[in-house]
């Protein structure tokens, strides 16, 4: 009986499978194209008067021409897509990114939207899964008809999107770290990123170490993307500062004890330890360093630029030195720094809404969304124009990660001034020279 059933099912299923994409193509055929805003109000560049992006757009988020309390309902909604790893292995990075997106969406709409257009940020959770990220991005492009995409959270997910985003001709502003996301720039026409480059962080660490007379270091990096890229960055930059890396150790992102690797380092002639990873690894390492009684200076990457590191490592966090985005040591940032008001407002708003301090990853999402919003404010709802704006018109933009100057050769836009060297003293961040 069952065999008869299966015999009937089999050809039926085959037919269904063969026909399915045709059905998909025929039903609701305008799935891929966005309607160009011709009949609806056209964005007039003069009204917005944003010749150069200034911090005033960002914190206050009031489009100048239309000063309405709510977006005009008759104008079409501007849609930005967002793919963040709000759960899974990268949740500590992706969840704050998601929260930032939701916060900004509300702020911008409360201030009247983008030139009166309501802003809709469609956010999907990739669960730290590359395949899922690609599928969700296709969903954003084809079903939600977004005009630009922000995210994803990790390098792997970002590079996985290259093909999809390039074929769909839609601009992407990634919140992930590796320089490989935006280089070689000829193959990255549609892709930008906001986090500071690992190479910059490595430079910062080495130049500080050199000033302290250090010439030999040992590295301990996590084996996942962030750590491995960091190890690569350190290896690449070391010769420029006459540094030699005497020992390279590694640990798994979820490992809970690194005394073995540190014991090994203790037996070398390294004069300093450079740790590269995201929490909780570096916190475990800081504690292990203290337990083992190692007195060598412990450097870290910008991956620990958040309160969580101090909460986890406790006393062991004191003495750790690392390059931080200014969001961390705000009190050390002079009032004349154009980033200060931006950071101040972001910190205050985020804290008020979520009762927690935003970390650098939240900042990356903030920078990404603001840039897209600035582009939309200036050129409207056009993917290619937004891309061109991002490439050519983001100059001296004070974001949380630094001051951005994008160009056709540089889709990241940050220079050495993006980082502050910070030391943790008494559980607080203090800027050091």
Of 23 and 39, CB closest to other proteins: 23
Residue 26: its H or E element: helix 2-26
What DSSP designation does 51 have? S
CB atoms within 10 A of CB 286: 28
Of 48, 50, 79, 95, the one binding other proteins by CB under 8 A: 95
Q: Does 427 help bind other proteins (rule: CB under 8 A)?
A: no
**Nearest approach, Cβ of residue 379 and other proteins (Å):** 25
Over the window 183 to 222, marking each residue x when it contacts other proteins by CB under 8 A and - when it does not, the resulting string is: ----x-----------------------------------
**Nearest approach, Cβ of residue 89 and other proteins (Å):** 7
Q: Which residues contact 79 (CB under 8 A, 6 or more apart)?
A: 120, 121, 122, 144, 145, 146, 147
According to CB under 8 A, which residues from 234 to 253 bind other proteins? 249-252
**Nearest approach, Cβ of residue 212 and other proteins (Å):** 26
**Nearest approach, Cβ of residue 251 and other proteins (Å):** 7
Q: Does 332 help bind other proteins (rule: CB under 8 A)?
A: no
Q: Does 355 help bind other proteins (rule: CB under 8 A)?
A: no
According to CB under 8 A, which residues from 143 to 182 bind other proteins? 143, 155-156, 159-160, 162-163, 167, 178, 180
**Nearest approach, Cβ of residue 174 and other proteins (Å):** 13
Of 85 and 150, CB closest to other proteins: 85
- CA dihedral of 391, 402, 240, 228, whole degrees rounded to 10: -80
Of 110 and 187, CB closest to other proteins: 187
Taking CA atoms, 77 is separated from 108, 146, 354, in Å, by 13, 10, 26
Binding range to other proteins, per CB under 8 A, among 80-88, 110-118, 386-394, 416-424:
80-88
According to CB under 8 A, which residues from 109 to 138 bind other proteins? 124-125, 127, 129-132, 134-136, 138
Q: Does 261 help bind other proteins (rule: CB under 8 A)?
A: yes
Q: Does 256 help bind other proteins (rule: CB under 8 A)?
A: yes
Specify whether the CB–CB gap between 340 and 332 falls below 8 A: no
Taking CA atoms, 110 is separated from 38, 68, 146, in Å, by 25, 9, 21
Of 257, 351, 384, 425, the one binding other proteins by CB under 8 A: 257
According to CB under 8 A, which residues from 24 to 63 bind other proteins? 24-28, 31-32
Q: Does 73 help bind other proteins (rule: CB under 8 A)?
A: no
Number of residues that bind other proteins (CB under 8 A): 85
Specify whether the CB–CB gap between 366 and 399 falls below 8 A: yes
Of 73 and 293, CB closest to other proteins: 293
CA 362 to chain CA centroid, nearest Å: 7
Of 157 and 237, CB closest to other proteins: 157
257-270: burial string, b at 16+ Cβ within 10 Å, e else: ebeebbeebbeeeb
Rounded Cα gap, residues 342 and 308, in angstroms: 22
Q: How many CA atoms within 13 Å lie on the side-chain side of 294?
A: 28
What DSSP designation does 232 have? H
Residue 249: its H or E element: strand 244-251
φ, ψ at 412 (rounded to 5°): -110, -45
Of 150 and 374, CB closest to other proteins: 150
φ, ψ at 136 (rounded to 5°): -65, -35
Q: Does 19 help bind other proteins (rule: CB under 8 A)?
A: no
Q: Does 10 help bind other proteins (rule: CB under 8 A)?
A: yes
Q: Does 142 help bind other proteins (rule: CB under 8 A)?
A: yes
Specify whether the CB–CB gap between 285 and 255 falls below 8 A: no
Cis peptide leading into 152, omega within 30 of 0? yes
Q: Does 283 help bind other proteins (rule: CB under 8 A)?
A: yes
Q: Does 4 help bind other proteins (rule: CB under 8 A)?
A: no
Strands 119-125 and 172-174: unpaired
């Amino acid at each position: 009986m069952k065999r008869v059933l299966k015999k009937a099912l089999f050809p039926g299923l085959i037919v269904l499978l063969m026909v399915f994409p045709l059905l998909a193509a025929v039903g609701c055929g305008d799935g891929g194209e966005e309607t160009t805003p011709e009949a609806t109000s056209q964005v007039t560049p003069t009204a917005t008067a944003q010749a150069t992006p200034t911090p005033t757009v960002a914190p206050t988020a009031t489009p100048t021409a239309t000063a309405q309390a709510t977006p005009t309902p008759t104008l079409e909604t501007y849609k930005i897509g967002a793919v963040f790893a709000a759960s899974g292995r990268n949740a500590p990075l992706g969840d704050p990114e998601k929260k930032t997106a939701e916060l900004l969406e509300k702020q911008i709409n409360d201030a009247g939207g983008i030139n009166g257009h309501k802003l809709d940020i469609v956010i999907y959770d990739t669960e730290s899964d590359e395949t899922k990220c690609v599928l969700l991005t296709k969903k954003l492009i084809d079903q939600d008809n977004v005009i630009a995409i922000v995210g994803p959270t990790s390098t792997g997910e970002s590079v996985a999107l290259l093909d999809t985003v390039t074929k769909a001709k839609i601009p992407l502003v990634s919140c992930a770290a590796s320089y490989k996301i935006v280089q070689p720039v000829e193959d990255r026409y549609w892709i930008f990123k906001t986090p500071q480059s690992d190479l910059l962080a490595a430079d910062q660490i080495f130049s500080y170490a050199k000033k302290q007379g250090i010439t030999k270091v040992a590295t301990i990096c996590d084996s996942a993307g962030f750590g491995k890229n960091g190890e690569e960055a350190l290896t690449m930059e070391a010769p420029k500062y006459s540094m030699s890396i005497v020992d390279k150790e590694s640990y798994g992102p979820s490992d809970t004890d690194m005394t073995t690797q540190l014991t090994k380092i203790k037996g070398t002639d390294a004069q300093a330890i450079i740790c590269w990873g995201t929490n909780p690894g570096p916190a475990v390492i800081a504690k292990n360093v203290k337990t083992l009684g190692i007195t060598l200076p412990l450097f870290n990457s910008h991956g620990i630029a958040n309160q969580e590191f101090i909460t986890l490592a406790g006393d062991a966090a004191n003495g750790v030195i690392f390059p931080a985005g200014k969001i961390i040591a705000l009190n050390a940032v002079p009032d004349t720094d154009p980033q200060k008001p931006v950071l101040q407002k972001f910190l205050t708003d985020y804290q008020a809404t979520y009762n927690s301090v935003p970390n650098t990853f939240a900042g990356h999402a903030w920078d990404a969304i603001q840039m897209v919003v600035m582009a939309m404010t200036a050129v409207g709802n056009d993917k290619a124009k937004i891309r061109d704006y991002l490439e050519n018109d983001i100059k001296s933009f004070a974001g949380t990660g630094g001051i951005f100057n994008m160009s056709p050769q540089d889709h990241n836009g940050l220079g050495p001034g993006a980082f502050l060297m910070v030391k943790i003293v008494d559980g607080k961040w203090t800027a050091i020279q």
